[in-house]
Every structure is written in C-alpha cells, then in structure tokens.
Chain A
Amino acid sequence: MTDLTRRSLLRTSAAAGTAALAGFPALAQTLAQSREITVTALGGVWEEAVRKSFVAPFEQKTGAKANVLLGSPPQWLSQVEANPQNPPIDVIITTPDLAITAAKTDLLDPFTTERLPNLADIPEEFTKALSGKGTVFDYGVAGITYNKKTVKNPPKSFREFVDRTAAGEWTASLPGLTYAVTPIMLIWTLAKALGGGVENVDPFFQAMARMRKNVVFWGGPNDFFNHLSSGEADIGIYFDGRTWAHVDAGADWMDFVNPSEGGSINALAVIKPKNAKPLAWDYIDVMLSPEAQLRFATMLNYPVTNRKVVYPDALKRRFTPWQQAHFPPYEEIAKVRSSWVDRWNREIRG
C-alpha cells in the first residue's frame, strides 16, 4: 500500500491537471463553447420574453445553448469595444443610436438575407437606418401614461401635458438623464411636439423650466411604475408597451395616451459584433421570424417588425403602426446629444 503524503498528493494532482488540460477535456470544452452563444436581454418581463420567444426556439432548432446576459446596451457595447477580437457577447439588443455609433467604428457585421432569410420580411427602412449593420426587431411609442384614479381628464397632446403640468394640476414623472434613451424619448420628442427639432431644442428647455417644480425624474422604467403606484406622481412620459404590460399584470388603474402630435418611436435593434460566433446568425434569424416575433409581441405588448406577423385583435387595438409615429433621426441626434446633456445638467436640476 502506498502512503498518501502531502507531497505525493500534490504531485499526483499536478500530473492529473496537466493531463486534463492537455488532453480531450480541453478539446471537448472548446467544442462545447462553440455550441454556446451569449445573447442579451433587459431585466424583468423582458428577460422572460427573450427566453421563451427567442432562446427556447433557437435551442430547439439548433441543439446549441444560448446564455442570457442581463444589463443595458451601453454596458454590452463597452464589453465588446474592450475586446473586439474575441467579443464576450454574440448578439446584442440595443437602441438604434448606439447601433449606429458601433457601426461607424466598424464593430459590427453587416446583415444580409443570405445570412438571415427572415430579414427579407423586415421593412427595409429598419435595416437601412442602421447602415445595414443591424435591424429593428421591435418598437414602442413614448407617449403619456397616467393614473386613472387621480387624472380623470388626461391630456390629449404633449402641449396640453406641458401646460397642465406647469399649472400644477399633477406631479409628472419624466425620464432623467441617467436613462440612456432620454435625449430621444424626452428632449427630441417634446422639442418636436412644441415646434422645435434636432436643430432647436429651446422649446423643450423652456417647457422644462415651466414644469420643473411639478416634475420628478425616473432613472429606469421600473422607477416610473413605482412613482405612479406609490403616489409620488400621477402622470408621465412612458412607453405604451410597458404600460400595457403593467395593466395586464393587474395595474388596471394605468392608461396610455398616444398624443395628438404623435409619439416617438423607441425602437430596439439587434446587432452582431464582428468576430462573434457564427451561431449568432441562427439566433438572430429566429428573432426575426414571424412566430418568435408574435410570441414576443404578445408577452411584451410591443409591436414587432416582421410584416408576416398577424396580431390578435386585442393587441392590434393597442399597437400604433410605425408609419403613424415619428422615427427619430438617430444619426443627427448622436451628433448633438452631448451638448443636450450638458445643457440639461446646467439648466435642469434633476
């Protein structure tokens, strides 16, 4: 019998480790990793929708595994920018403005119907808007969400919303600057509704100066719901889809108005970093398929972009066709976004 000493144990372990690293397990691990991709999702009901609508059919179709990474688009893009040769993420969902920025820095692979057969059923505008290096797969409209119990007569337009907020008729909850989409969904949207635009956001800042004392800011979409449910605010600028998701979850005291000026489209795009695993194309093609998109739309109450999707009547009534809302000029906004943020910091305390 051999005595088991510390030295012999160390020697044996080292030999076993070397053998394991040098032998088949390493190869097996590499192979396993090539059959695994990392995809992204926002938190909450979003994650659930991604898992059920996209991940499950992808795994069933390919036999591969998709690991879901939670977070936010700026964070994911930063991770890819830090390691573009071997990106840690294979499929990213992001706002179009960030997708455009990433496309300009040559971080992304182009989308083609050869790689993505279902891309043929997505309106061309959504791919062109991203310089062909990604496409929009779902969108929402930023409008006015309110508490029916405290706001009996909701505003019909953004202009009316601003006037009545300034008059102190209610406390409004607006997206703050820690929320990445705020320059688009609030600054540009209100500026446009009040007679300005990308080149002139004075109307927005003038409106904010009038409203400020009756405004609180939300840092993330869940904050908005907390503001309304806790009674801190009565009304605010929010997304239609998230409002309907809350209503369906039992918050039947909430309602949404698509303002007469037209809400702004807040789209989400899907992109594939260069050097991401080829399996990512299969996942993206599933994301763009009518079956997966319908399931996603049903779960999240957000319209999707595949032309072949036929919504049930209940959803059809809630959804605003993208042609009837304003598609933000993302590239132009990207050029002036920093100056808007700087002005906000100096003029608006919040």
Chain B
Amino acid sequence: MTAAPRPALTGRPSIGRPFLALPAVLFLLAFFVLPLLDNGLRSVVPADGQGLTASRYVQVLTDPFYLDSILQTVLLSGVVTLICALIGYPVAYYLVRHAGRLSSLIIFLLIAPLLTSIIMRTYGWQVLFARRGLINTWLVQDLGLIERPLRVLDTPGLVVASLVHVLVPFMVLSIAAVLQGVDRRLEESAQLLGASPWRTFLSVTLPLSLDGIGTGAILVFMVANGSFVTLVLLGGGLKTLPLLIYQQFNTTRDFGLASAMSTVLLAVALVCLILQLRLVRRSGA
C-alpha cells in the first residue's frame, strides 16, 4: 500500500518555512540569549572593569554559606515538587476516572488560586496563621485547645504549604492530560489476567502516567526554584538563591555577585532538569 501524499500547507516552496521560526528565534535571542550573555559578562568583570575574574564564582561555590543557600534552594524546590506529586496524582486520577460532570468544577477549583495575585494569596496566609490570626484565635480563645498561639508564620513549613497551594494545579493538569490518554483496555487486560486493582495501578497505570508526573515535576520544580515573593513575605528563615540575588540588587547593589549567583541558579536548575528527564525516561515513560 502506498501512503497518500501529504497535502502541502501552501503553494509556496518549502524552502521558506524555516523563516516562520524567525520571529520566535529573534525574540529568544533578544530577550533571553543576549541578556544571559550580558549577565555572564557582568559576573566575571571586576568592579574596576579591568580584566576578568572568577572570584565571585569561587565565592559562591566554595563558601559554606552560599553552598548552604544552593542546597536550601534545591531542597525547597524538591520538597514542594514531591508534595505536589503526592497530592496531585490522586486528584488527577479522580478527575479523569471518577469526576464525570464534576470535572469542570474541580478544574475551576484547582486553578482558582491562580486567579488571585500572589501577594493577596500570601497575605491570606498571614491573616489565617498570624499569632492573633483566625486559626490561633479559635484554638486559644474560642476552643481553648492550646494555651499559647502556634507560631506558624515565619516557618519553612508555611513557605512550603504556600508554594504547594499555588503550584499543585500545574502537577494535576500535567498528570490528568497523560492519564486521559492511557488505554483503559491495558488495565482491563491486566485485571483479566488476575492482577488486583492495586497491582494493575502499580504495573500499568502508574508507569504509563510517569510522563505526566515528569512534566508536572519539571514545571513545579522550575517555578519553585525561582520563587521569591512568597519567601519575602512569609520568611521562614530560608536563604534561597533568589532571595540573595534580590538582596544584591536591592540592598548592596553588588551586581557582579548577583550575576554570578543567577548563573549558578540557572546551572542548578538545568542540572536538576536533566536529572529529572533522565529519571523519567529510565522509568520507562
């Protein structure tokens, strides 16, 4: 059998098609590649403008304080990603397999937090969990369950909760999109061959949906990696790289060190991205 010839999109020769990508390439060049090069240059030009130096990179990559900051950045993003996956998968599964007519409502509820400004959302956490906020007032005064108010604000736990709150929709929607495409007949075949529902899930459904988890994890990790406003407003004693970069711009105006830190942050993000992609591929997705 001979495949039917693919219809041409236009009557013009295909030689012009690469030019269709030109606007996107120019855009990326102007607003990503060139600023990145400029940033890289700033990070190696010393304050007096004479010659080049790697001293800032040495500082960031050898000083225990900055190494700890890199670790905190990666750990925070990793924990947020893990929690988003643990919460997001069951929600996505329910959304695809059981929600039926409720699916639109669930999707709306999922993306509802994204409709509010991040600052308002963060202030919402403050109103709820302040020392004399709603929750502590209930627990201490109204219910008398505890004597002293809980200290929830300014803790890493609330920073994580706040980031999960806003990032979990990315995970759910990524997983749901892949789960939607899983062939149900494969699961039915497994069950016909004697696999329990749990075994079917572990051996068939989960491996087939790993691609969605991978996509969601990359999205969540990358956004959490660069998150800044939540940490500024909720504190938590964390000193992640984005916070330190902002400090250099806003407080000390040491642009060289800020540039070096942002290059390191980008490199860390890329390494994590590659590791995640490899992990997902090795798992068979």
Q: Chain A residues in contact with chain B, CB under 8 A?
A: 72, 74, 78, 98, 101, 150, 171, 176-180, 182-183, 216-217, 219, 223, 226-227, 230-233, 337-338, 341, 345-346, 349-350
Contacts and interface: CB of A to CB of B under 8 A. Distances in A.
A177 B250 CA distance: 9
B114 to A, nearest CB: 22
B131 A72 contact: no
Nearest to A231: B132
A178 B232 contact: yes
Contact of B253 (A101, A223, A349, A350): A101
Interface stretch (B7-15, B22-30, B166-174, B239-247): B239-247
Contacts of B237: 349-350
A309 B108 CA distance: 56
B130 A178 contact: no
A349 B131 CA distance: 19
Contacts, number: 71
B117 interface: no
B11 to A, nearest CB: 14
A101 B127 CA distance: 39
Nearest to B243: A178
A101 B237 CA distance: 30
B95 interface: no
12 contacts: A176-B232, A177-B247, A178-B243, A179-B250, A179-B251, A180-B250, A216-B154, A219-B232, A227-B130, A231-B133, A232-B132, A338-B254
A151 B179 CA distance: 56
Interface of B: 65, 123, 126-127, 130-133, 136, 153-154, 232-233, 235, 237, 239, 243-244, 246-247, 249-254
Q: Which 9 A-B pairs have the closest CB atoms?
A: A231-B132, A230-B130, A349-B237, A232-B130, A219-B232, A338-B252, A231-B130, A74-B250, A180-B250
Contact of A231 (B131, B235, B239, B252): B131
Contacts of B126: 226-227, 230, 232
Contacts of A346: 65
Residue among A98, A171, A227, A231 with the highest chain B CB neighbour number at 10 A:
A231
A209 to B, nearest CB: 14
B65 A341 contact: no
A116 to B, nearest CB: 27
Given A178-B246, A231-B131, 19 more contacts: A74-B249, A171-B131, A176-B232, A179-B251, A216-B154, A216-B235, A219-B232, A223-B233, A227-B130, A230-B133, A232-B126, A337-B251, A337-B252, A338-B252, A341-B247, A345-B65, A349-B237, A350-B154, A350-B237
Contacts of B127: 230
A233 B136 CA distance: 13
A216 B154 CA distance: 7
Given A74-B250, A177-B251, A219 B153 contact: no
A230 B252 contact: no
Nearest to B238: A349
B250 A232 contact: no
Nearest to A178: B232
A338 B258 CA distance: 12
A216 B247 contact: no
A74 B65 contact: no
A217 to B, nearest CB: 6
B39 to A, nearest CB: 12
A349 B235 CA distance: 9
B239 A349 contact: yes
Contacts of A231: 130-133, 136
B65 A178 contact: no
A176 B235 contact: yes
Contacts of B252: 337-338, 341
Contacts of A78: 249
A15 to B, nearest CB: 23
Contact of A178 (B154, B251, B254): B251
Contacts of B243: 178
B251 A183 contact: yes
B131 A180 contact: no
Contacts of A226: 123, 126
A223 B153 CA distance: 13
Contacts of B133: 230-232
A338 B249 CA distance: 11
A219 B122 CA distance: 13
A232 B131 contact: yes
